[in-house]
Amino acid sequence: MAYSQTNLVADLPSGAGVDLHLDLNRRGIRASLTNALRDAVRTGRLVPGTRLPASRSLASDLGVSRSTVTESYAELVAEGWLVAQQGSGTRVARRAEPHSRQTRTSRGTPNRRLPTHALMPGSTEFGEFPRAQWLAAARRALSVAPRSAFGYGDVLGRVELRTALADYLARARGVHADPDRVVICSGFHHGLKLMTEVLTARGVRAVAVESYGLHIYRDLLAEAGLQVPPLHVDGHGARTDELSALSGVGAALLTPAHQFPTGVALSPERRAAAVDWARTTDGLILEDDYDGEFRYDRQPVGAVQGLDPERVVYFGTASKSLAPGLRLAWMVLPEDLVSEVAAAKGDVESASALEQLTLAEFITSGAFDRHVRSMRQRYRRRRDQLVAELAERAPHVHVTGMAAGLQAVVELPPGTERSVLQAAGQRGLLVSGMAEFRSPLTDPDRPAPSQDALVVNYAAPSDSAWANALDALCSVMPGT
């Protein structure tokens, strides 16, 4: 079983003078190219209107067949990210700007936007930031902040926030947290990057990942030279029982509370298997608790970290519970990792001290709990509407993975995912297919079962946009 991943790096020069650095995976090259381009559009690295290189020249630069490039372009045109125009080649769609670059600059005029319904994971029309309560917390935090808060910070992060988080995580997520083991970072991506540096410095060669997940995290690990063998995902979560059969794996990256994107919770047996593996092999579990605050159907599933705090690195984030724009996340570390992570982070704190103090105040004042409760009701309502509407208008599709979190899986009849995504593109509906999250590194001996499905982020649209987005989604269901 060879899981190594060679990367193909291409600089994509466009007619508009934009160079785009693409880091592609040799295996599954078309999916990798499609994902890289989609991400570049989504995040604004490729701005609306940018002309992409001709398929022939890009194929030649990449050393791949021309059909790989044309298929990749066609798929993104179908999904609405790109536009193909007779005589002017393929361009980034004007409307495809859910995330990023502003349509207005200091000089420009607003671009005309076509109606777009954004339901992809990571979409951020997220309109419910508690502005007044946040400002009140900022006022209280600023009024009592010591002088030292305005200086270069503690490399671990402000002690006030680490203390508030330790208390909150123990109470709400069953995490064994001591403030001295909490490290503040500017997003899960940042935290995982730090852990990757520590792991590679320790000589770790491979980190197991879930066979479905966000490719940016697999890529981050692979770019650091790590192998990323996948664990199958089934109705009980990741197959952590497979870990002991993989050789040379030093850590496993898991989403136990609510597997992303399938939405399954890791079963107690699988949790035990993961911890047993870590204890036996001196391995580490990297627990990505990205939406652990949101559970609708039953008691919150506690963090795996509670089972063995010396074997689990716990990652939490304010991105789902508050807003990605805060760029605040946290890790709870085994004791023997604290100084290594601190060294990887460097001597200069990367998150604003004022923002850290504000979040500490927001948590200790109870505003965070109130906000999470209110968001939980709101998302639950959304989820119920999604389920009810689909049950009525597309009774043959099955919705799963929605007992928690912000996304649900809409299972489709076999072979229909791509055509549904194309129909969605034509309706101006930006949504993700399950295939987008599949690890390209499947073991030929044990292929991952594929499932045609959409991953729907029902928390993405604003209240005013939700009804239309839901309508658009229902309208593209097969057989409707």
Q: Which of residues 185-224 bind a second copy (CB under 8 A)?
A: 186-187, 189-190, 216
Per CB under 8 A, the segment of 24-32, 150-158, 418-426, 447-455 that binds a second copy is 150-158
Per CB under 8 A, the segment of 122-130, 246-254, 255-263, 282-290 that binds a second copy is 122-130
Residue 145 or residue 448: which is nearer to a second copy going by CB? 145
277 close to 240: Cβ distance less than 8 angstroms:
yes
Residue 96 or residue 156: which is nearer to a second copy going by CB? 156
Other beta carbons less than 10 A from residue 282's beta carbon:
8
Crossing angle of helices 367-393/463-475, nearest 10°?
A: 30
Give the C-alpha separation, 54 to 269, whole Å.
Answer: 52
Q: Cα dist. 236→163, 268, 291, 333 in Å?
A: 34, 9, 18, 26
Query: Minimal distance in Å, beta carbon 43 to a second copy?
Result: 4
Other beta carbons less than 10 A from residue 457's beta carbon:
24
Query: Minimal distance in Å, beta carbon 166 to a second copy?
Result: 7
Q: Which amino acid is at 151?
A: G
294 close to 371: Cβ distance less than 8 angstroms:
no
Could you give the count of Cα atoms lying within 13 Å of 281 in the half-sphere of its Cβ? 20
Query: Minimal distance in Å, beta carbon 3 to a second copy?
Result: 24
The residues in 43-82 that bind a second copy, with binding defined as CB under 8 A, are 43-45
Kindly give, in sequence order, each residue whose CB lies less than 8 Å from that of residue 318, ignoring residues fewer than 6 positions away. Answer: 326, 328, 329, 359
User: Of how many residues is the chain composed?
Assistant: 480
Per CB under 8 A, the segment of 78-86, 121-129, 249-257, 379-387 that binds a second copy is 121-129
The residues in 7-26 that bind a second copy, with binding defined as CB under 8 A, are 18-21
Residue 103 or residue 416: which is nearer to a second copy going by CB? 103
Kindly give, in sequence order, each residue whose CB lies less than 8 Å from that of residue 212, ignoring residues fewer than 6 positions away. Answer: 233, 259, 260, 261, 262, 434, 437, 438, 439, 448
**3-class SS of residue 331:** strand
The residues in 436-475 that bind a second copy, with binding defined as CB under 8 A, are 462
Residue 182 or residue 208: which is nearer to a second copy going by CB? 182
38 close to 81: Cβ distance less than 8 angstroms:
yes
Residue 154 or residue 369: which is nearer to a second copy going by CB? 154
Closest CA to 287 of 258, 260, 253: 253
Query: Minimal distance in Å, beta carbon 155 to a second copy?
Result: 6
Residue 66 or residue 376: which is nearer to a second copy going by CB? 376
Closest CA to 44 of 92, 112, 100: 100
335 close to 176: Cβ distance less than 8 angstroms:
no
Kindly give, in sequence order, each residue whose CB lies less than 8 Å from that of residue 64, ignoring residues fewer than 6 positions away. Answer: 29, 33
The reply to whether 293 sits near a second copy by the rule CB under 8 A is no
The residues in 124-143 that bind a second copy, with binding defined as CB under 8 A, are 124-127, 129, 131, 134-135, 138-139, 142-143
Could you give the count of Cα atoms lying within 13 Å of 450 in the half-sphere of its Cβ? 17
The residues in 382-441 that bind a second copy, with binding defined as CB under 8 A, are none
Query: Minimal distance in Å, beta carbon 176 to a second copy?
Result: 15
The residues in 340-379 that bind a second copy, with binding defined as CB under 8 A, are 340, 342-343, 346-355
Residue 417 or residue 436: which is nearer to a second copy going by CB? 436
Query: Minimal distance in Å, beta carbon 119 to a second copy?
Result: 14
Query: Minimal distance in Å, beta carbon 187 to a second copy?
Result: 6
What x/- string results for residues 302 through 341 when contact with a second copy is judged by CB under 8 A?
Answer: ---------------------xxxxxx----------xx-
Residue 89 or residue 179: which is nearer to a second copy going by CB? 179
96 close to 80: Cβ distance less than 8 angstroms:
yes
Residue 104 or residue 398: which is nearer to a second copy going by CB? 104
Query: Minimal distance in Å, beta carbon 193 to a second copy?
Result: 9
The residues in 95-114 that bind a second copy, with binding defined as CB under 8 A, are 99-102, 104-106
Residue 104 or residue 446: which is nearer to a second copy going by CB? 104
410 close to 434: Cβ distance less than 8 angstroms:
no
The residues in 24-43 that bind a second copy, with binding defined as CB under 8 A, are 39, 43
φ/ψ of residue 49, rounded to 5: 90, -15
Give the C-alpha separation, 294 to 402, whole Å.
Answer: 10
Q: Which of 8, 74, 77, 159 binds a second copy (CB under 8 A)?
A: 159
Tokens encoding 344: 């990887």
Residue 43 or residue 419: which is nearer to a second copy going by CB? 43
